[in-house]
Amino acid sequence: MQNVYLAIVLAPLVGAIIAGLFGRFITRSVAHWVTILGVAVSTVLSFWVFKHHVMDGAPAYNEAVYTWLVSDGVRFEVGFLVDNLTAMMMAVVTFVSLMVHVYTIGYMHDDPGYKRFFSYISLFTFSMLMLVMANNFFQLFFGWEAVGLVSYLLIGFWYTRPTAIHANLKAFLVNRVGDFGFLLGIAAVLMYFNSVDYADVFAAAPSMAGLTIEVIPGVEWQVMTLIALLLFVGAMGKSAQVPLHVWLPDSMEGPTPISALIHAATMVTAGIFMVARMSPIYELSEVALAVVLIIGAITAFFMGLLGLVQHDIKRVVAYSTLSQLGYMTAALGASAYAAGVFHLMTHAFFKALLFLAAGSVIIAMHHEQDMRRMGGLKRYMPITWATMLVGSLALIGFPGFAGFFSKDAIIEAVHYSSIPGAGLAYWALLAGVFITALYTFRMFFLVFHGQERMDHHTREHLHECPSVVTVPLIALAVPSVVIGGIYVGPMLFGDFFADAIHVLPGHDTLAELGHHYHGVWSFVVHGLQGPAVWLALLGVASAWYLYMQRPDLPARIAERLRPLHAVLEHKYGFDEFNQAAFGGGARGLGRLLWKVGDVRLIDGLLVNGVARSVGWMAGRFRHVQSGFLYHYAFAMMLGLLGLFILFVL
C-alpha cells in the first residue's frame, strides 16, 4: 500500500515539475496533459483507497516512509496516516482538483502564463495531499506552509496587476499571523509530549488533561487548552475565521480556477480538517471548544451579511465560502466533528461548481464580473444556468440536495450542544440560512434572469462556453445533488469516522440526533418540520421579489438603512483597522527605528561618528608635522625633559 500512497502524492508533483521547470522546452498541450494525467492518476488511486478503507473496511494505515531527522530521541519523519477521514479528503481533493485542471484548459486558453499556472495548481494538489495524509505534526506543518506558499503564487498569478500583488501579500501576511500561533502549538506539543507523532500524542493526551501552565505569572492555564487554542489560531488563518478572514475575499484577484480550488478543496479546508484530526486534544478542553464554536458562529452570520452588498459575482461566492466555513467551524466547536467534515465534503463539490459556473459567466461576458451589467443569461447559457441553479440550491440547503443534509445536521447539532455559547451560535446559524438564500438567489436572478443589462457588443457575442468548461460543471453538479443523501447516514450516525474522530460521551450531540434518524427520507421530512428549510425558502422568495418584481426596492432600502449599508460596504472596518493598527503602525514603527536606530545610532554615531572623530583627531595632530627642524628639536627637548622629571624626580 505504501507504493500506492506514494504514487498518489508524487504524481501531481511530477506533473508540476515537468510543466514548471521544463516549460520552455514543452508545448502548452504537453504542459496541461502531463499535469492532468498526474492528478488523474491520484484521483483514480484515491478512489481505490476510498473503496479499500471505507467500503471494504480495511484497517487504518499508519507507517513512516522516511526519517528526516532524529534529535534528542525525537523522530521527524515523513509518513502516512490513511483512515476513513483521510481517504474521504483524498478523494475530494483529487476529484475537485482534476475538474479544475480540465476546466483551466478553457479558462486560461489565451493566457501567456498557461504552463506556469498548470504547474502551480498541480503543486497545490501535491501540498494538500501531503497535509491530509500526514501522520505527524512535522509533515502537517510542511503541507500547511506549502499550501500557503502556492496560494501566494496563485493569488498573485497576474503579477502585473497592483491589486493582485496587494492581495497575495495580504494573504501571505495574515496567514503568517495564524501560522505563528500554529507553530507555537506544535512547539508546545513537542515540549510536553516529546513527540510529534499523532498516535503518540493522542495516546498520551488524556494523562495531560489536568496539567497546567502559567502563561501569565499568577494565571494558570490548562496545557491542553493552550495547545488547542494555539492550533486553532492557525486554523483561523487558513480557514479564514474572524478576525483572520480578511485575506480570503481578496484572493479573487487570482484566476477563477484557483479561486475554486482554494475555496472548495484545498487551503481553506485545511483548518477544518486539522481541528477534526485533533479531536482527541480538543475534547479535553471545553474552553477551546467554546471559543471555536463562538468564532464559527460569528463568522457564519456576519460574513454572510457582507454577501448582500457585493456586486462582483466572484466576491459573492467568496463571502459565501467565509460563511460556510463558519458553519463547519461551529460544528467542530459543538463536538460534531463528523457534521463539520461532512459539510466540508458536500461544500467542496457545490462551491467548486459555483465558482466554475461564475467563471463560465465571466468568460462569456468577456471578463466582466459586475452583476449589474449582466442579466438574462439563461437563454444564452442554458448549461451554465442549470448547473449554477444546482449549486445554488445545494448551498442554501434545499431539501434533497447535498448541502441540505450537512447544514441541517450542523444546526441541529449546535442546538443540542451543551458547550457554552451554543444557544447564541444556534440563532446565528439559523439567521445565516435566510441570509445565505437571499444573497445566493440575488446573484442567480441578477445574472440569469430579468433585464439584459450588458452592452450591445457583449450581447451579440454571448454563447455557451465550450465543453471543456461545461463538462466539469456537469461532473460537479452530480455529487452536489446526490452525495449528501448517500453518506448522511454512515458519516453522521454510523461508524464512518469511528477510528478517526474521538468524541467524549458528554459532548456527542450527533449520537443524540442519531436516535431520531430513520433514513434519508425521514431526515428530509424532519427538515421540513424545522425552521431552516422555511427560512431558506423565505430567502429565495425575498430575493425574487426584491430583484425580479421590485428592482427599485433594494436601492431604497439601502438609502433608508444608509449607516448599516455603509458598515457592510466597508466590511465592518477590518481593512481600515488593520491598515491603521498594523499597516500604518508597523510602517510608523519602522520609520522610527530607521531614524533613531539606523540614521542616528548606527550611521550617525557608530559609522559616521567614528569617521568624524578620527578626522577631527587627525586634523589636530597633523599640525605637529610642520616640516621645520627646530620644531622637531624642540619637541625632542620637551620629551627628554619629561622623561627626566618622571624618572629622577
Sorted by sequence, the CB contacts under 8 Å of residue 107 that are 6+ apart come out as 255, 256, 257, 359, 363, 469
Write down the H helix ranges in 449-530: 456-460, 467-488, 509-514, 520-528
Residue 382 has pLDDT above 90, yes or no: yes
215 confidence band (pLDDT: 50, 70, 90): confident
How does DSSP assign 585-637, residue by residue?
Answer: HHHHHHHHHIIIIIIIIIIIIIIHHHHHHHHHHHHHHGGG----HHHHHHHHH
Write down the H helix ranges in 22-68: 28-50
Q: What average pLDDT score do residues 17-45 get?
A: 94
Q: What average pLDDT score do residues 7-22 get?
A: 95
Residue type at 483?
I
Residue type at 104?
T
Peptide bond into 280 cis (omega under 30): no
Residue 398 has pLDDT above 90, yes or no: yes
Give per-residue pLDDT as tens, 405-455. Answer: 999 999 999 999 999 999 999 999 999 999 999 999 999 999 999 888 988
Q: What is the pLDDT of residue 649?
A: 66
Residue type at 167?
A
Give per-residue pLDDT as tens, 90-106. Answer: 999 999 999 999 999 99
Question: For helices 256-264 and 137-155, what crossing angle results, to 10°?
Answer: 150
In sign, the C-alpha dihedral spanning 132, 165, 298, 560 is negative
> How far apart, in whole angstroms, are the C-alpha atoms of residue 557 and residue 346?
34
> How far apart, in whole angstroms, are the C-alpha atoms of residue 299 and residue 240?
9
Give per-residue pLDDT as tens, 486-509. Answer: 999 999 998 899 889 999 998 999
> How far apart, in whole angstroms, are the C-alpha atoms of residue 329 and residue 171?
20
> How far apart, in whole angstroms, are the C-alpha atoms of residue 340 and residue 343?
5
Average pLDDT over the chain reads 91
What is the DSSP secondary structure assignment for residue 59, as one 8-state letter? P
- Residue 640: all three cell numbers together: 627628554
The predicted model scores a pTM of 0.90
Q: What is the pLDDT of residue 149?
A: 93
Q: Residues of the chain with pLDDT > 70: what percent?
A: 99
**CB hemisphere CA count around 82 (13 angstroms):** 30
Expressed in angstroms, the distance from the first to the final Cα of the chain is 98
- Residue 523: all three cell numbers together: 431526515
More confident residue, 114 or 615: 114
The H or E element that residue 222 is part of is strand 219-222
632 confidence band (pLDDT: 50, 70, 90): confident
Give per-residue pLDDT as tens, 218-245. Answer: 788 899 999 999 999 999 999 999 999 9
- Distance set, CA 477 to CA 5, 173, 349, 393, 462 (Å): 28, 35, 7, 11, 23
> How far apart, in whole angstroms, are the C-alpha atoms of residue 139 and residue 65?
11
What is the DSSP secondary structure assignment for residue 220, as one 8-state letter? E
Q: What is the pLDDT of residue 119?
A: 95
Strand partners, 222: 212
298: phi then psi, degrees, rounded to nearest 5:
-60, -45
Beta-strand pair 61-71/219-222: unpaired
Q: Residues of the chain with pLDDT > 90: what percent?
A: 71
Q: What is the pLDDT of residue 584?
A: 65
Beta-strand pair 212-216/74-82: unpaired
Give per-residue pLDDT as tens, 541-552. Answer: 999 999 999 999
The H or E element that residue 212 is part of is strand 212-216
188 confidence band (pLDDT: 50, 70, 90): very high
Q: What is the pLDDT of residue 586?
A: 67
- Residue 521: all three cell numbers together: 427520507
Domain parsing of the chain, residue ranges: 1-550, 555-610
Query: Which of 336-345, 385-394, 620-629 shows the lowest mean pLDDT across its residues?
Result: 620-629
Give per-residue pLDDT as tens, 282-313. Answer: 999 999 999 999 999 999 999 999 999 999 99
Residue 580 has pLDDT above 90, yes or no: no
Q: Which residues of 330-364 are buried (b: 16+ CB within 10 A; e: fewer)?
A: bbbbbbbbbbbbbbbbbbbbbbbbbbbbbbbbbbb
